[in-house]
Chain A
Amino acid sequence: QVQLQQSGPGLVKPSQTLSLTCAISGDSVSSNSAAWNWIRQSPSRGLEWLGRTYYRSKWYNDYALSVKSRITINSDTSKNQFSLQLNSVTPEDSAVYYCARDPNTQRKFDLWGQGTLVTVSS
């Protein structure tokens, strides 16, 4: 059974870096068909796609324009997981963050992590 398990802190101070990890079981972060995504959800912004990483003979990353200057998504093949780093956070970045699989890079998300509520506050 394919699962995504998220981990990371639920409280981050303003101007610091938000870091979350998504561990994959039952699939591979190095899959030649899937893409691994981060999506967040807040009352003010709704669902917002943040970015993705995928492997097609080499690693690729795509990021939403709204966070492109602050975001990094990395993969760790030894642990079969991928991670999100969002720098210089503000209270506007408070949201539930989800990792999600797009099985064939056609912008549908068939598998989601459990979600992590991240609050940006001092």
Chain B
Amino acid sequence: QSALTQPASVSGSPGQSITISCTGTSSDVGGYNYVSWYQQYPGKAPKLMIYDVSRRPSGVSDRFSASKSGNTASLTISGLQAEDEADYYCSSFTSTNSYVVFGGGTKLTVL
């Protein structure tokens, strides 16, 4: 199983907001501000959406925001659009020898 825990699925209607959680430990999410979020469409490579807990790369919509509290990071997508339907993965730096750990992924369905 993955090192970081995410809900398997979330859903929302167009225009609504949803939040995806990512729970780790003090050795990863809770201990460092190196949490990233990725969006992945079927058959495609992941795309970086958030890095350093809450920073957006150039070109990523400001409808995507993220934060962290303790050992749990969260990704919020506001004003849901059909194109947001995808899988979302969190990742974190880890002080163990794995260097990077990922969550198991959350499938977002736009109703």
Question: Residue of A at shortest CB range from B57?
Answer: A110
Q: Which A residues are in CB contact (< 8 Å) with B103?
A: 46
Q: Which 3 A-B pairs have the closest CB atoms?
A: A112-B45, A47-B102, A108-B51
B100: which of A49, A98, A112 is its contact (CB, 8 Å)?
A49
Complex Cα distance, B101 from A64, in Å, reads 10
Known: A106-B93, A107-B91, A108-B34. A65 touches B104 (CB 8 A): no
Count of B interface residues, CB-CB < 8 Å: 25
Verify B98–A106 contact, CB threshold 8 A. no
Known: A47-B89, A65-B97. A107 touches B36 (CB 8 A): yes
Verify A49–B46 contact, CB threshold 8 A. no
Verify A107–B102 contact, CB threshold 8 A. no
Verify A46–B98 contact, CB threshold 8 A. no
